Amino acid sequence: MKAIVVKPPKPGVEVRDLTQVIRHGSGTVKVRILENGICGTDREIVRGELTTARPPEGRDWLVLGHEALGIVEDSSDPRFKPGDLVMPINRRSYHGKCLNCLVGRPDFCEANEFVEAGIIGMDGFMVEYWYDDPKYLVKVPKNIADIAVMAQPLSDLEKSVEEILNVQRRLIWTCDDGTYNCRRSIVFGTGSTGILISLLLRTIGFEVYVANRRDPLESEAKITEEAGIIYYNYSKDGLDKLKSMGFDLVVDTTGASASLIGHEIEMLKPNGILGLFGFPAEGELTLRYDVIQRFIYKSNAIVGLINGQKPHFQQALAHLAQWKSIWPTVANSLITRVVDVNDDKELMQVLNRKEKGEIKVKIKWS
Ligand code: BGC
Ligand code: ZN
């Protein structure tokens, strides 16, 4: 059985013929892989840079892949039947001892004992087939099969937006028409995470800026134009202008330097919130006392954002279906490259680095 395997913390990736069968939980549903998406986390593992990555207990290797679309081949669970399209949830409770894990929310695990498929202590889904637990499978509508693989990264952002709105329930944050149409947001970073959360914020009515250090690429220009998102090049137009404009919501998805966060804090309006999604890869954050004074005075908030769960996968699939009909250009621009799993050379290329203009690369299994 063909699988894409890594050996964290060591760098490297290889295609292997596995002899053992992969089984998760009750394992009552046999899923054959159709497609995998690749994200920055996969590449960090391949480069040996992700310190949290580790194989399952008792061995030194791990099947990679947490973004997956599969088809049910066999099932003894009445909720799934052969031919159903499904998507597996990537973070799962391990011992299930913490209260949040017990109610299906290991994204808020307090015991730090969860596993993540293809990342932390659990085999991922870059494998021909596996046996899974129905609790961790979501059904995928067939008419969005072409972009469905985006639902995993989007689930993280559904959860992020939900969390931001929950934090903001500390005050009345909706506008005088009951919507969020009067709220201004800015998203730093135009990778798939930055694009997806910008689209979500547009969907619920926010005014949305998306910022990067360069002019938009063609794919980004098409998406932002159709969805009514304002692109901002901050190496050209500067960060100071953004600080004087002020934002109700700032989201960082850059994974760049920690020092950017200091600038983002200064962009917050009264009651504004900063959401941190991307892991900064370097640098440090120094905040002057007067910046902290203003932060307190304005009742600002900062929240860490990570990992969506089953409800968020369901919302993500519904949003993908919605976008396909209201923003067809957006929907057609999200997948920027499809690689055949049998094409070793291309496969190694896309597993190792992000290419220019990439939003989402998917691996197709045949
Ligand atoms: C995944 C998340 C996961 C995070 C941390 C991301 O790439 O999409 O679901 O929680 O990595 O491992
Ligand atoms: Zn990911």
Do 43 and 255 form a contact (C-beta atoms < 8 A)?
no
- Integer-rounded Cα Rg, in Å, for the chain is 21
Single-letter residue type at 15: V
Ligand (nearest to CA of 90): 1
pLDDT score of 256: 85
Position 366 scores a pLDDT of: 86
The amino acid sitting at 204 is I
Distance in angstroms (rounded) separating the CA atoms of residues 147 and 334: 8
Ligand 1 — pocket residues by CB below 6 A?
A: 39, 41, 66, 90-91, 116, 119, 153, 156, 306-307
E strand residue ranges, the chain: 2-6, 14-17, 29-38, 62-63, 67-75, 85-88, 91-92, 115-117, 121-122, 129-132, 137-139, 184-188, 207-212, 230-233, 247-252, 268-276, 301-304, 335-340, 360-364
Query: How many angstroms is it from 26 CA to the middle of ligand 2?
Result: 25
- Residues carrying CATH 3.40.50.720, the chain: 155-304
Which pLDDT belongs to residue 95? Answer: 79
| C-alpha 41 to ligand 1 mean position (Å) | 7
What pLDDT sits at residue 231?
98
CATH of 155-304, one of 3.30.230.10, 3.40.50.720, 2.60.40.1930, 3.40.50.1000: 3.40.50.720
Q: Which fold has domain 2-147+335-364?
A: Quinone Oxidoreductase; Chain A, domain 1 (3.90.180)
Closest C-alpha residue for ligand 1 atom 7? 41
Residue identifier of the C-alpha nearest atom 4 of ligand 1: 307
Q: What is the pLDDT tens value at each position of the chain, 366 positions in all? A: 999 999 999 999 999 999 999 999 999 999 999 999 999 999 999 999 999 999 999 999 999 999 999 999 999 999 999 999 999 999 999 877 899 999 999 999 999 889 999 999 999 999 999 999 999 999 999 999 999 999 999 999 999 999 999 999 999 999 999 999 999 999 999 999 999 999 999 999 999 999 999 999 999 999 999 999 999 999 999 999 999 999 999 999 998 889 999 999 999 999 999 999 988 888 999 999 999 999 999 999 999 999 999 999 999 999 999 999 999 999 999 999 999 999 999 999 999 999 999 999 999 998
- How far apart (Å, rounded) are the C-alpha atoms in residues 206 and 143? 28
What ligand 1 atom has the least distance to the C-alpha of 40?
A: 7
| Domain span(s) for CATH 3.90.180.10 in the chain | 2-147+335-364
Q: How far, in Å, are 50, 242, 322, 354 from residue 58 at the CA level?
A: 20, 51, 44, 32
**Euclidean distance between the first and the last CA atom of the chain, given in angstroms as a whole number:** 13
157 and 151 Cβ atoms separated by less than 8 Å: no
Ligand 1 atom showing the smallest separation from residue 156 Cα: 9
Name the residue with the closest Cα to ligand 1, atom 6. Answer: 41
Atom in ligand 1 nearest the alpha carbon of residue 306: 10
In angstroms, the CA 204 to CA 179 distance is 8
Specify the residue with its C-alpha closest to ligand 1, atom 1. Answer: 307
If DSSP codes are grouped into helix, strand and coil, which group holds residue 118?
A: coil
pLDDT of residue 278: 82
pLDDT of residue 255: 84
**Strand arrangement, sheet containing 14-17:** 14-17, 2-6, 62-63
